Chain A
Amino acid sequence: MRIVSFPKKFAVAAEKTGPTRRPYRLNGRMADRRSGQAIIMLTLMVSCFLVPMVGLAIDGGRGYLVRIKLSTAVDGASLAAGRLMGTPPGASVATQTSYTTATAQQYLAANFPAGFFGAQLVGSGNVCVDPGTNNTDPCHVSNGGSLQTYKIRTVAVNAQATMPTFFMRLLNMPTITVGASGVAQRRDVRVVVVIDRSSSMAKFYGAGGSCATPPCIQTMLNNFVNSFSGAGELGGRDEVGLVVFGGSGIVAYPARNVANDYTDYTQFTAPDNNFKTRSSTIINEITSQSNTGTAEALYLAYMTLRADAATNTDLSTKLNVIVLFTDGLPNGITTFANDPSQIANHGGNKNFMIPSTSCSFHAGSWAATNVPTASTNLIGWFAQWNGFANSNYNAHGFFKSMMAYSQSGNSGNTDIDNWMTNGEPTTPQWGTDSCPSTTMPSGTLTQFPDYDLFGNYTTLDNAPAVSSLTPPKAPGGKSLYTLGSLYQNQCGSSTYSPTATSNPCQIGLASWQAAVHQGWKIWNQIIWSKTSQSNIVDPGPNMSSPVIFTLGFDDSKIGGAEAPDLKMLQLIANDPNSPVPFSNRVNGRAYYAADVNAVGLALQEIQSEILRLSQ
């Protein structure tokens, strides 16, 4: 006879509820019956409860793991396909959609190897590509919410996988099916590409886009521009503008209107998405000539980029980018020699830049509709001539600005084509108010302007604060220009002197500071106001928050001039590696290409960076 003893707590419970408060003692028959019941109960519990629970835990856990892996796969697929949307450049919407779909499916399969915990993908995944041309949500990504799909390109990937079970099959569940979905969206991009065509680039630009020694930079630039989604392509809302510059710059696309005053930020035209045909023509037409007026080129780029800031509510939703490509050091400045504001700052001395012995002129006027063509205004660009190595080689100028004059009286695209093909004006904007009609005579310029035509200071230390912001100093409180290779190499660490106008390196330092100031103004969204004759915070109201990428091409060892100044390029871009980066402003990046091949490769990197930032 066996006595089945309950655990103590049951015994106590039984004792409390029993009628005689006497512990149970079971007789043999009852104990046998209870023993059988316990075995049955245990068997039932194991088969009906424990095994399914353990099975659920194990198979469920495996299923959850498979689901996480599938989530990774759809995330990777959607993100990669979104990033690589617009492939191949220039193809139709249908072709680009098929490439995007194929890319997503490749990434899905790559991230979910067959047999992961025994699971297999069901099909190749469902990929939905929405070009964002209207408010509909064909990919159902907003899920009843308010996720924006209009003017946003979307890739949505849905996938399922089936996994065989170990334990659950005992309950007639031989497989588990899990699903996951991923979404990637991409903003539209507005890019203004700033192209240096100074004379040192002669070896690398060819008529019609050909060049003597391929690979050709014009081809690389075309590939770069064509990587954006223009009209007729998937999305088709990227916008590209082109600024081409030597000593003088011009907004080549969209074609500037020569009647508009280019010192007035309200008179610029924004880039559009019809850029592909014209941009290719313009880039292939570029003829190398002239000097390097970097500050003016950057100014034109920013004015073009934010031209519709007053009205375009989409501007702040776009990724707005300026890409500066240059092969040398800035050596030119556009100025207003009889600028009434600067004359006032110099005690009313109209001849603070150009002495009266050279020409006798009046104070100029900003009131004219088109400032540069006002008869009494002496506006144009001057530059160092014949290289930094030539000491005592006076500034040349004042040459006409391409933005203010048409070539041969043409207008529109024909005018731009002529400027691209024939180079910049060689005639000086010089001949009014009894000034000589030839190039600025030696020694005429006695002082550099305090700031150029666009409010960029040639002595950065003197730049007034705008909204409590001032350009930075170099470490140790030194002037910023002391960081540059121009100061350290070409200038032999000579201090900047605004009156040393016959020294080419000093012209360079003035230009260097103006260019860096313009870059600083762009990523601080500060613009030149013709009305107030001062730098002001961009009135918007739609802010472009531009990102600047700079690419310096060092052709000094292969027939070019001097090497670009990487520190200057970093300062202009607000590169995180800049000697004085502003971490609370948009960071761009500076690239340095050591040879022709590297130009193309660096452009590829910039393209990748732009596409990545647009997500």
Chain B
Amino acid sequence: MVPFLASLFIGSSILGIRLVKDLVVTQVARDAASMYARGTDFSSASPVNQALLSRLGAMLGWPQNAALGSTDGGVIYLSQIMYIDNTCNGNAATDSKGRACNENSWVFVNTIVLGNTNVHSSNFGAPPSCISACYDSVITGTSPNYGNINLNEAYYNSGDVVQNFTYLGTPSSSTAGFQPGQIANLVEVGAYVGQTVDYAFALF
């Protein structure tokens, strides 16, 4: 009887702790997505906002007064994505460099990564690493750390295509619902929970 009760107690405790941490990871994804969709800047230009995100994961052992670092036990991917239909959303089929449009694909238009990418990689890929060339220093005059990808690159750089994203189907201008050219805010959170990694995503 004692072993049974002990295992029941220990099992319940482990499962409970695990559930609580699952809960925290889900909540961090939800809160981050909600703020991101409302326009909160989580780029390196706003370290206070980055620290706020990290504080949400205090129960996961994340820093409470600083942004998630590259050696911490968590990672957050914040991405804005857009679908390009077979008309290139009304834009030219090729750009001035002769590159073909990313037709019938989801593409990144903004991406910010916080934390330790070794914890969990994005399930949807990542934009190209051509920071100085691709990011939005042209359109907005801002530095690349805002994560805004130059929309010309989003449309015509094949490296900017999102991988494995099927959650909103295939948007079409002839079908009710999410439309090509509209922006979806995608947040992924990965965190160490014991020896395993918990993962949650939210689409806002």
Contact = CB atoms under 8 A, between A and B. Distances in A.
B194 interface: no
B114 interface: no
Contacts of B179: 84, 87-88, 99
Interface stretch (A252-260, A303-311, A592-600): A592-600
Contact of B151 (A102, A111, A598): A598
A591 interface: yes
A347 to B, nearest CB: 44
Given A75-B34, A87-B182, A102-B177, A107 B203 contact: yes
A42 B173 CA distance: 66
B176 interface: yes
B8 interface: yes
A587 B37 CA distance: 18
A72 B37 contact: no
Given A71-B30, A612-B39, A103 B177 contact: yes
A110 B203 CA distance: 7
Interface stretch (A56-64, A152-160, A495-503, A513-521): A56-64
A613 B152 CA distance: 24
A246 B147 CA distance: 35
B80 to A, nearest CB: 9
Contact of A602 (B22, B39, B95, B139): B139
Interface size class of A (residues with CB under 8 A): 35 or more
Contacts of A103: 176-178
A54 to B, nearest CB: 5
B98 interface: no
B196 to A, nearest CB: 16
Interface of A is mostly: helix
A54 B8 contact: yes
A68 B30 contact: yes
A12 interface: no
Interface string B30-48: 1001100111000001000
Contacts of B130: none
Contact of B140 (A84, A88, A95, A592): A592
Contacts of B1: 42
Contact of B37 (A65, A79, A570, A592): A79
Interface stretch (B12-20, B50-58, B65-73): B12-20
Given A65-B22, A597-B92, A72 B8 contact: no
Contact of B12 (A57, A62, A87, A95): A57
Interface string A475-504: 000000000000000000000000000000
B140 A62 contact: no
Given A76-B202, A79-B37, A591 B139 contact: yes
Contact of A598 (B90, B138, B178): B138
A297 interface: no
A373 interface: no
Contacts of B26: 65, 68-69, 72
B183 A110 contact: no
A338 B126 CA distance: 62
Contacts of B141: 566, 569-570, 575, 577, 590-592
B117 interface: no
Nearest to B146: A577
Contacts of A601: 91, 139, 151-152, 155
Nearest to A595: B96
B100 interface: no
A155 B37 CA distance: 16
Interface string B146-159: 00000110010000
Given A65-B26, A88-B173, A590-B140, A609 B39 contact: yes
A613 B22 CA distance: 32
Nearest to B201: A111
A215 interface: yes
B151 A604 contact: yes
Contact of A57 (B16, B22, B90, B152): B16
Interface string B83-117: 00000001110011000000000000000000000
B204 interface: yes
Interface in A82-138: 83-84, 87-88, 95, 98-99, 101-103, 105-107, 109-111
A600 B91 contact: yes
A320 to B, nearest CB: 17
B181 interface: yes
A591 B140 contact: yes
B169 interface: yes
A58 B15 contact: yes
Contacts of A608: 183
B95 A597 contact: yes
A80 interface: yes
A613 B39 contact: yes
A103 B167 CA distance: 12
Contacts of A591: 139-141
Contacts of A592: 138-141
Contacts of A88: 173, 179
Q: Which of A46, A88, A110, A602 has the most CB of B within 10 A?
A: A110
Interface string A21-58: 00000000000000000000010001000100010011
B119 interface: no
Nearest to B181: A604
Given A65-B23, A601-B151, A613-B39, A111 B168 contact: no
Contacts of A71: 30
Contacts of A594: 138-139, 152
Contacts of B19: 58, 61-62, 64-65
Nearest to A612: B39
Nearest to A219: B90
A111 B92 CA distance: 33
Interface string B126-141: 0000000000001111
A463 B151 CA distance: 39
B139 A50 contact: no
B184 A80 contact: yes
Given A103-B178, A605-B140, A612-B38, 18 more contacts: A54-B8, A58-B15, A64-B19, A72-B26, A72-B202, A76-B30, A87-B179, A102-B177, A102-B178, A106-B177, A110-B203, A575-B141, A591-B141, A592-B141, A594-B138, A597-B155, A601-B155, A605-B139
16 contacts: A65-B22, A71-B30, A72-B33, A76-B37, A76-B202, A102-B177, A110-B203, A570-B141, A577-B141, A589-B140, A590-B140, A600-B90, A601-B91, A605-B140, A608-B183, A615-B38
Top 7 closest pairs, chain A to chain B, by CB: A110-B167, A601-B151, A102-B177, A102-B176, A72-B30, A61-B19, A76-B204
